[in-house]
């Protein structure tokens, strides 16, 4: 596990709890001290961690923010270029492109656990973070079925369900349901926190609407800026919706269109139901396209036949 | 208590629990059946409830949505024009104007408990809803000190702290910290809920950012549209902030300005501390201006000397 922040640290904890042999690397000695004290096999020596991976054929998981991905890939390309490789970064197309630049695509299948808190760092890591969460596993062209099984198996061991999604589709969807929420929360915080009076009157709607603005600004920026094109599209749509609402409010003193559509959309979210994907296994004829179609419709994978041991 | 929805019903429950003699009116027979079954003194006869108030000099509390306030004031002006009068409606200037049109200003002091859930109706009413919440009590020109004491005393009995705020200031502040959050939540829900894939990947940031979009659309509209001018100003500011963020994202692939400011604002909110207003009592020389200044700075009233019995 390369990177032991909130997500990487939680993966290490969950993997070890599931009975896997796992070890971790982190740049910061502080995180290492904390994780070692808690009994985990971790260190600040990236090369040693990679050599061990190369010797054992272990699945390598990249868990650093987007701006730190390239140097990590440099090291992997040098010291463990043939290992199965995945990541837990919140954007997928940009990671896949970086992996390709490093010649590592053949053994790479991207991942993204849709879980988090507004905390960061090893001290917030929680082996239950992924329990019942959705873990996206990439189904881009030429994905290797065996690597796919290994990545999905890790996600399942961490307590998640797996949603198979192609990188570009993932990025467009999370721009809307994860990155745009962050931008709106930041904007709401700024417009609301204008006076002690406003801060003192703020109740549930402001608290919940700005919650993610308390996340580390560096991590929010890394996430949003790594998905700039898809996020621009989602933001433009939000601006268009809010501008139309503004016109209706000013000229008709009404919020009908926005509120009616928003309420209906929230009910869709509350009523959304997953279904289990069955009848297709990694490596079957057309498995990538079948997984993509099922993922698009709300399907999840809850078990994998004959997963490789971790 | 006139109106027994989430807020009105919770006020009735909390007031009775605090040992007050209280009775309620609601238009809907369903709410009345539920509240009577629970042992409350309620009915669908508005005139009878007002006659009883006129005979006893009870504090009348208006707890209906803004569009229903006028007919209620018609009945009060006819049947109980001299009673102390308050309300729990989420906008204040428009209620105060309606009260003035009915010639009831002399005994009116507005109120607004900053509490709520995304539920509505008597069945959601909860005597603990106002515990540790902020309850705005109006300090408009010519507010009657005795009525003010009675309104504040009700708020304190319901477990809240009292923030003294003038109507216009209240409306401008809640436009930012309550009504704008609703509009952004509705917009986010609409932009996010575009596909089963997006709905399936949605996690905490989308859930919290859209929570209030599950509120009754009629109540959200009544609240927002009753505060159209102040809300337009807040919305324009949000649009300006988001438009600048869009330019920075497109041209510099950066979200620095927005994220930095939003994070700082959210910390201000988290670090906001109330202080107790002391040394001024309703009716003292300059009490209204002193209360206004203190409220603006984050002051709250936690006790009232010699409050009138409820």
Contact B266 A237 (CB under 8 A): no
What pLDDT does residue A308 have?
A: 47
**CA-CA distance, A199 to B88, in Å (whole number)?**
20
Nearest-CA distance A133 → chain B (Å): 8
- Confidence band of B305 (pLDDT split at 50, 70, 90): confident
Q: What is the pLDDT of residues A243-263, one digit of tens each?
A: 999 999 999 999 999 999 999
Better-predicted residue by pLDDT, A308 or B88: B88
Mean pLDDT (chain B) is 95
**H or E segment at A218?**
helix A217-225
pLDDT band at B16 (very low <50, low <70, confident <90, very high): very high
Q: What are residue A163's DSSP bridge partners?
A: A136
Q: Which residue of A has its CA nearest to B179?
A: A205
Mutant choice from A263, A294, A298 vs B, greatest count of B C-beta within 10 A: A263
How far A33 CA lies from chain B's nearest CA (Å)?
29
Between CA B240 and CA B122 the distance in angstroms is 40
Tell how far CA A173 is from the center of its chain.
12
* Cβ-based neighbours of A107, under 8 Å, separated by 6 or more: A82, A83, A84, A85, A144, A147
Q: Is the dihedral of CA A115, A116, A121, A125 positive or negative?
A: negative
> Concatenated DSSP letters for A36-82?
HHTT--EES-HHHHHHHHHHHTPPEEE-S-GGGHHHHHHHHHHH-TT
- Give residue A310's pLDDT band: very low, low, confident or very high (50, 70, 90): very low
Among the partner-chain residues B184, B204, B253, the one whose CB lies closest to the CB of A188 is B184
Token duo for residue B17: 């629990």
Q: What is the pLDDT of residues A79-122, one digit of tens each?
A: 999 999 999 999 999 999 999 999 999 999 999 999 887 788 89
Can you list the domains of chain B with their CATH numbers? 6-165+273-300 (3.40.50.720), 171-271 (1.10.3660.10)
pLDDT (0 to 100) of residue A117: 77
A30, two tokens: 């502080």
Of B117, B221, B253, the CB nearest to A228: B253
User: How far apart are the C-alpha atoms of B282 and B149, rounded to whole Å?
Assistant: 7
- B280 vs chain A: nearest CA distance in angstroms? 19
pLDDT confidence of residue A31: 84
Q: In A, which residues are within 8 Å of B188 by CB distance?
A: 180-181, 184, 238, 262
The band of B30, judged by pLDDT with boundaries at 50, 70 and 90, is confident
What 3-state DSSP class applies to A30? helix
* C-beta atoms of A204 and B228 within 8 A: no
pLDDT 10s digits, B128-175: 999 999 999 999 999 999 999 999 999 999 999 999 999 999 999 999
Q: pLDDT tens digits for B122-140?
A: 999 999 999 999 999 999 9
Per the listing, tokens 């010639």 go with: B103
pLDDT at B306: 64
Chain A residues touching B136 at Cβ < 8 A: 201
Asked whether residue B44 carries a pLDDT value surpassing 70, the answer given is: yes
CB distance B255–A225 less than 8 Å? yes
Non-local (6+) Cβ contacts of A24 within 8 A are: A1, A2, A4, A8, A9, A12, A35, A40, A41, A42, A43, A49
Whether residue B309 has pLDDT greater than 50: no
Of A26, A24, A6, nearest in space to A16 by CA: A24
**Does A262 sit within 8 Å of B181, measured CB to CB?**
no
What whole-number percentage of chain A has pLDDT above 70?
98
Total beta-carbon pairs less than 8 A apart between chain A and chain B: 369
pLDDT for A309: 47
Distance from CA of A103 to the nearest CA of B (A): 26
pLDDT in tens, A165-222: 999 999 999 999 999 999 999 999 999 999 999 999 999 999 999 999 999 999 999 9
Q: What is the mean pLDDT of residues B213-217?
A: 95
With an 8 Å Cβ cutoff, are A197 and B163 in contact? yes
Task: Write down the pTM of the prediction.
Answer: 0.90
Distance CA A65, CA A103 (A): 20
Q: What is the ipTM of this complex?
A: 0.90
Distance separating alpha carbons of residues A76 and B218, to the nearest angstrom:
57
CB contact under 8 A, B235 and A246: yes
CB-nearest partner of B177 from A202, A232, A259 = A202
pLDDT in tens, A141-150: 999 999 999 9
* Average pLDDT of span B252-277: 97
Measured between beta carbons, the chain A residues lying within 8 angstroms of B168 are none
State the smallest CA–CA distance between residue B233 and chain A in angstroms: 10
Q: How confident is the model at residue A76 (pLDDT cuts 50, 70, 90)?
A: very high
pLDDT value at residue A282: 96
- 8 Å CB contact of A203 and B253: no
Q: Chain B partners of A261 at a C-beta cutoff of 8 Å?
A: 186, 189-190
Q: How confident is residue B308, by pLDDT bands cut at 50, 70 and 90?
A: very low
**pLDDT bracket for residue A155 (50, 70, 90):** very high
- Chain-centre distance of CA B84, in angstroms? 19
Residues of B whose CB is below 8 A from A251 = none
């Amino acid at each position: 596990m390369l990177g032991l922040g909130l997500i990487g640290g939680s993966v290490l904890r969950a993997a070890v709890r599931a009975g896997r042999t796992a070890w971790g690397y982190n740049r910061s000695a502080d995180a290492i001290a904390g994780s070692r004290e808690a009994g985990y096999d971790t260190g600040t020596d990236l090369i040693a961690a990679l050599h061990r991976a190369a010797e054992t054929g272990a699945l390598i998981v990249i868990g650093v923010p987007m701006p730190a991905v390239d140097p990590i890939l440099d090291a992997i390309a040098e010291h463990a270029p043939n290992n199965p490789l995945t990541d837990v970064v919140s954007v997928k197309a940009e990671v896949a492109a970086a992996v390709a630049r490093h010649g590592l695509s053949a053994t790479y299948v991207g991942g993204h656990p849709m879980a988090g808190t507004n905390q960061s760092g090893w001290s917030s890591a929680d082996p239950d973070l992924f329990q019942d969460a959705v873990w996206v596993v990439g189904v881009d062209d030429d994905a290797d079925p065996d690597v796919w099984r290994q990545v999905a198996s890790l996600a399942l061991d961490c307590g998640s369900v797996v949603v198979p999604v192609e990188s570009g589709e993932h990025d467009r969807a999370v721009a809307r349901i994860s990155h745009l929420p962050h931008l709106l929360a930041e904007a709401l915080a700024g417009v609301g926190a204008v006076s002690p009076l406003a801060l003192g009157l703020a109740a549930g709607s402001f608290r919940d609407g700005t919650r993610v603005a308390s996340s580390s600004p560096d991590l929010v920026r890394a996430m949003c800026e790594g998905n700039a094109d898809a996020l621009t599209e989602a933001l433009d749509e939000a601006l268009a919706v809010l501008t139309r609402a503004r016109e209706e409010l000013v000229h008709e003193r009404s919020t009908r269109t926005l509120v009616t559509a928003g309420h209906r959309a929230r009910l869709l979210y509350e009523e959304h139901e997953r279904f289990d994907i069955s009848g297709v296994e990694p490596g079957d004829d057309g498995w990538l396209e079948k997984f993509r179609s099922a993922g698009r419709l709300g399907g999840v994978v809850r078990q994998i036949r004959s997963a490789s041991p971790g």
